Chains A and B, each alone.
Chain A
Amino acid sequence: MPVSRQTELKSKLLPFLLPPAVLPALLLALLLLFMAVPIHAASAQEATPPPDDAVNAVAAQIYCPVCDGVTLDACETKACEQWREDIRDRLAAGWTEEEILGYFAEQYGDQVLAAPPPRGFSLLIYIVPAAGIVTGAFFLTRSIWRWRTQGQEEARTSIRVPNQEAKTADGKHDAEHTGE
């Protein structure tokens, strides 16, 4: 290639050519980038799964679908094992406890929750004890009040009665003395 042609080509490529000092820095940046990708991938793969305690904390709030009154954390059936696994997957995916409980209630019904939400028939669970406490407190207060009033009434009566009895006794005593 003639020199003039080479110079012409060089001048055309000049805007695209990098200064020699930038080249090592660019190579180093690329190297770091390639190294970072597998590191990131590895860290994602090796992300520690949620601990059993975290899984059991949620599992303790959900009933086993095949046993009566047993929560997932205390059940060894295959069904519970799968449900716990599902909880673990969802916790690992960043779901909150409330989200998981909501999901299970939606999928399997409110009856799977150890503490069902206060709606529908489950509302009775919350209303009945409260109503019982209020009614009980009312009757207890009334009984105490009556008992106290009655006690005061009896105290007044008992103060009067000995005097009358004393008077009667005195009268009788006097009569005996007088020989009547």
Chain B
Amino acid sequence: MTEQKKQGKAGILVLLLGGLLVLLVILALPLIRAREAGLKAGSEAPDFTFTDFEGSTHTLSSYRGNVVVINFWASWCDPCAEEAAILEQAYQEYGDEDVVFLGIAYSDTESKSRAYVDDYGVTYPNGPDKGTKISPEYHVAGVPETFIIDPAGVLAAVKIGPFSSLEELETLILQAK
């Protein structure tokens, strides 16, 4: 076997191994991302656009200058129902004070989501995470999860699980202002 042939074979082998490595990295990336810790306070809030159940479109970046409270919930989630009244109460108190409330239904059926909004008297904009595109950006691993964004579009606080009291939510809103 000549030296040239040997070199050619080694090149093919390196190429194959390299391709395999690249493939493994591509396949592993989503898994690594999924295992990454959730968004931390101080990081920039990922921008998104969603359409609420009334048909209005909301883009996060269009609310710069306001504190934004984003609540991920689902009708099948009992703790979400527990905090629904707290969120609505906060909306009634701070909704007129440059605080925007957005509710995003996570992996929920539309009919049940609408019924939930009606049943718990939620009046701030709520809509589905169509195509499950927003929740992965926020590393939502379960519901409820609430993200409070400051007027500069930076994540001020993350609440995993339900709020136990209105005061708890109020404190986070006031800190973000």
Chain A residues packing against B (C-beta within 8 Å) = 65-66, 77-79, 81-83, 85-86, 106-109, 111-112, 121, 124, 128, 135
CB distance B112 to A82 under 8 Å? yes
Distance between Cα atoms of A103 and B23 in the complex (Å):
31
Per-position binary interface string of chain B over residues 97-137, scored 1 when its CB falls under 8 Å from any chain A CB and 0 otherwise: 00000000011111110000000000000001011110000
CB distance A82 to B75 under 8 Å? yes
CB distance from B117 to the nearest CB of A (A): 15
CB distance from A82 to the nearest CB of B (A): 5
Which residues of chain B come closer than 8 Å to A135, judged between CB atoms?
A: 16
CB of B26 within 8 A of chain A? yes
Distance between Cα atoms of A77 and B107 in the complex (Å):
13
Within 8 A of A (CB), among B128-149: 128, 130-133, 142
Which residues of chain B come closer than 8 Å to A108, judged between CB atoms?
A: 107, 131-132
Q: Which of A77, A106, A112 touches B76 (beta carbons < 8 Å)? A: A77
Contact A83/B109 with A77-B76, A124-B27 known, Cβ cut-off 8 Å:
yes
Task: Give the A-B pair count, Cβ closer than 8 A.
Answer: 42
Chain B residues packing against A (C-beta within 8 Å) = 16, 23, 26-27, 30, 74-77, 106-112, 128, 130-133, 142
CB distance from A7 to the nearest CB of B (A): 67
CB distance B26 to A124 under 8 Å? yes
Distance between Cα atoms of A77 and B75 in the complex (Å):
12
The winner among B27, B109, B128, B132 for most chain A CB atoms within 10 A is B109
| CB nearest neighbor in A for B132 | A109
Q: Which of A66, A82, A83 touches B142 (beta carbons < 8 Å)? A: A66
CB distance from B104 to the nearest CB of A (A): 13
Which residues of chain A come closer than 8 Å to B109, judged between CB atoms?
A: 82-83, 85-86
Which residues of chain B come closer than 8 Å to A112, judged between CB atoms?
A: 132
CB distance B131 to A109 under 8 Å? yes
CB distance A109 to B23 under 8 Å? no
List the 8 closest A-B pairs by CB distance, nearest first: A65-B107, A78-B76, A109-B132, A79-B76, A86-B109, A109-B131, A108-B132, A82-B109
Q: Which of A79, A81, A109, A124 touches B74 (beta carbons < 8 Å)? A: A79
Which residues of chain A come closer than 8 Å to B77, judged between CB atoms?
A: 78
| CB nearest neighbor in A for B133 | A109
CB distance from B106 to the nearest CB of A (A): 8
Distance between Cα atoms of A111 and B34 in the complex (Å):
13
| CB nearest neighbor in A for B74 | A79
